[in-house]
Amino acid sequence: MHAMDVMTTNVVVVLADTPVKEIAGLLLKHRISAVPVVDAEQRVIGIVSEGDLMRRPENEAEARFSWWLDVFASPGQKAAEYVKTHGLRASDVMTKDLFTVTEDTPLPEIARLLEKHHIKRTPVVRDDRLVGIVSRANLLHGLVAKGAENTRPASSDDRTIREKLLQALWKDVGLNKGLINVTVDDGIVQLWGIVETEAQKKAAQVAAENTAGVKAIENHIGKLPPWGWAG
């Protein structure tokens, strides 16, 4: 399998001048842990994660323990850290040193990239423009779908099934794009993610059953407790 077989598409993105407060709201609204920062041409220029926002001075726990870093930091480092923790826009707080992959990058290569650089996700680009994102969870979905020893590439039929089903889940069923994923191997569909109600889980099952080419369905979708949707 490759990035295109597991990646999350229709990614929530922000611009360089998007306010930090708005980014925090997007993370909460879509229940995601990071957003890519793009320019007017949809080229990825950075990424803002929940970790970046947790380093803000509003976080009292972080403020209590960050003082000792001043002892070792150079003036340049201290200035950069101030911008990172007090900046008001995406361009101030985003991580700029990015590692990207293409749609054809094999999953084992992506796994090595995430492990080597201790990152949780990587943008997927086509001609330098964002087309998706692959997270650790997406990699696990692909591993389960194919098996650790199966290196047979996904067929075009499988990719067509995946795209049609994802569109149905998003547009017809109305599921959250950031919380649902699909993998397809030889016509066998695996549904992943979390939903709010049992009816939504059933609707996802029915959508898969109505997608041409599907041979079997494994529904791994979980239901988040009601308190998990508060806020």
Query: Domains along the chain?
Result: 154-231 (3.30.1340.30)
pTM over the 0.85 mark: no
Strands 180-185 and 222-223, how do they pair? unpaired
pLDDT of residue 53: 81
Amino acid at the residue 103: E
Does residue 144 have a pLDDT over 90? no
Does residue 64 have a pLDDT over 50? no
- What is the per-residue pLDDT across 83-118, written as a single tens digit (0 to 9) for each? 566 668 899 889 888 999 999 999 999 999 999 999
- pLDDT band of 148, cuts 50, 70, 90: very low
Residue 59 CA to chain centroid, in angstroms?
24
- What is the per-residue pLDDT across 4-45, written as a single tens digit (0 to 9) for each? 999 998 899 999 999 988 998 898 888 888 999 999 999 999
